[in-house]
Amino acid sequence: MKKALAIIFMLGSFLGFAQNGSIGVKDQMFKVNLLTPGIEYEVGLTSKSSINLGLGTGFAITGGSDRDT
């Protein structure tokens, strides 16, 4: 178990630097999410920042003292 955790940690540390060579933020990106249905539109503001606008659905479980969850 300790060896497996050590291997996962080492692989994670190597893959953690995967985005250092990127060229920056794209100007525009449109995404469709199928897991929780929705759409997103991302606009690049500068070379290192962007704004994300999204519209979609979510799931929740509500409960209370007088009803079953």
pLDDT score of 49: 86
Separate counts of helices (H) and strands (E) for the chain: 1, 3
Q: Tell me the pLDDT tens digit for each residue of 2-47.
A: 888 888 887 776 655 555 556 667 778 899 988 888 999 999 888 7
Which two structure tokens, joined as six digits, stand for 17? 């630097």
53 or 15, higher pLDDT: 53
Report which of 24, 25, 42 is spatially closest to residue 33, judged by C-alpha positions.
Answer: 42
User: Can you say how many angstroms the Cα of residue 30 is from the centroid of all Cα atoms in its chain?
Assistant: 15
Q: Is residue 52 part of a domain?
A: yes
CA distances to 9, 13, 14, 58 from 6, rounded to whole Å, are: 5, 11, 12, 36
Q: Which domain holds residue 41?
A: 21-57
Q: Tell me how many domains the chain contains.
A: 1
| Predicted pLDDT at 48 | 79
3 state SS of 5: helix
pTM: 0.49
Decide if 9 is inside a domain. Answer: no
